[in-house]
């Protein structure tokens, strides 16, 4: 089933590339909390470089993710010679917003969501993981949480 779905998706993307005359790169998460990590960023950057000076379109649907990953993709977009359009199909939050702002043009559906570039820290509470904004953790009673928040904010700065 997965292979069949993947083949259909690639065929559709190839057809869309031919119609639009661009190389299409996807940054689309499957889970409701689709977050960009360094490994995914490496693949996206490799595809950006592979496109050379050809025009590209990056399809985004993400809640954000690694600050480092977002900066690396943003730099790859800013350092290229061809036109880069970002297509936001649902959301480009946090790091997704940063990446979008590097594009020559943003194409977004009416329901598209953008969000602030605010680092979040994974916190364990009652056996569950929550992602808490770093700014809120600056006044935490837990030294580890405060340190994590300070480091994340410093990294964004």
45: pLDDT strictly greater than 70: yes
Task: Specify the higher pLDDT residue, 66 or 84.
Answer: 84
| Residue 156 pLDDT > 80 | no
pLDDT digits (tens, 9 = 90+) for 89-116: 899 988 899 999 999 999 999 999 998 8
124 beta partners: 129
CB atoms within 10 A of CB 24: 18
Q: What is the mean pLDDT of residues 117-137?
A: 83
DSSP string, 116-152: ----EEEEEETTEEEEEEHHHHTT-S-HHHHHHHHHH
Residue 32: the pLDDT is: 46
Nearest alpha-carbon partner for 56 in 91, 28, 82, 90: 82
Beta-carbon-side half-sphere exposure of residue 126 (alpha carbons within 13 Å): 0
Provide the pLDDT for residue 77.
Answer: 97
| C-beta contacts of 154-157 below 8 A and 24+ residues apart | 155/67, 155/68, 155/119, 156/67, 156/117, 156/118, 156/119
Average pLDDT, integer, range 15-43? 78
What's the average model confidence in pLDDT over 19-29?
A: 83
pLDDT at site 100:
96
81's tokens:
């010679």
pLDDT of residue 1: 58
Question: pTM (2 decimals)?
Answer: 0.77
Q: What is the chain's mean pLDDT, rounded?
A: 87
Q: Which of 9-23, 66-80, 93-107 has the lowest mean pLDDT?
A: 9-23
């Amino acid at each position: 089933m997965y292979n069949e779905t993947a083949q259909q998706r690639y065929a559709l993307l190839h057809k869309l590339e031919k119609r639009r005359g661009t190389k299409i790169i996807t940054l689309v998460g499957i889970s409701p909390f689709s977050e960009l990590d360094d490994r995914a960023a490496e693949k996206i950057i490799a595809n950006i470089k592979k496109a050379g000076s050809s025009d590209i379109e990056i399809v985004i649907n993400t809640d954000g993710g690694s600050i480092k990953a977002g900066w690396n993709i943003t730099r790859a977009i800013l350092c290229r010679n061809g036109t880069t359009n970002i297509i936001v199909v649902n959301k480009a939050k946090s790091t997704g917003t940063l990446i979008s702002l590097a594009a020559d043009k943003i194409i977004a559906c009416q329901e598209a969501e953008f969000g602030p570039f605010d680092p979040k820290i994974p916190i364990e509470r009652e056996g569950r993981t929550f992602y808490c904004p770093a700014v809120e953790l600056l006044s935490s009673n837990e030294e580890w949480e405060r340190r994590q928040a300070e480091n994340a904010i410093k990294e964004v700065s």
